Amino acid sequence: MTSRRFSDVEFGEDLPPLTPDTSIPNVTTFVKAAGMLNERFTDHEAARKQGLPGAIVPGIMSQAVMASMIHHWAPEAQVEKIDTVFRAPVLVGHPHTVTGVVTDMDDDAHTVEIDLTLENEAGETRVLGTATVRLP
């Protein structure tokens, strides 16, 4: 990871994609830390009984991996806002990829807007959104 300054960034720049660990053990660790233990996140059978296709990654974990991708790209960035739209469940144990791309830049505020997308292996958007990020 290298330091990234506002002057280094270009409109349309792709952030390096991130492949989050959506395994049951990792999701379990997350929901325990977040204080939101619920079988719908950690047990496929229990989730199906709740009408879900399987255990799902909690929304705040999807947001967290998006923030993580931003910090891998720019470790000194201040993430001022992450604004997400949840289109479809992110299924536990399935491969997903988080991508980001710079789609707006404010020269005065030294902030950039980043489009965020979390897709499954079929390329289907499960979560989309934007982040506002301040850079040195």
Helices (H), 12-85: 24-34, 39-42, 44-49, 59-73
Nearest distance, CB of residue 67 and other proteins, angstroms: 16
E-strand ranges in the chain read 78-86, 96-106, 111-120, 125-134
Nearest distance, CB of residue 87 and other proteins, angstroms: 7
What residues line the site for other proteins (CB under 8 A)? 11-12, 83, 85, 87-88, 101, 103-104, 113, 115-117, 121-125, 128-130
12 or 16: CB nearest other proteins:
12
Closest CA to 35 of 71, 64, 60, 66: 60
What single-letter DSSP state applies at residue 132? Answer: E
The CA distance from 71 to 112, in Å, is 13
Nearest distance, CB of residue 37 and other proteins, angstroms: 29
43 or 113: CB nearest other proteins:
113
31 or 82: CB nearest other proteins:
82
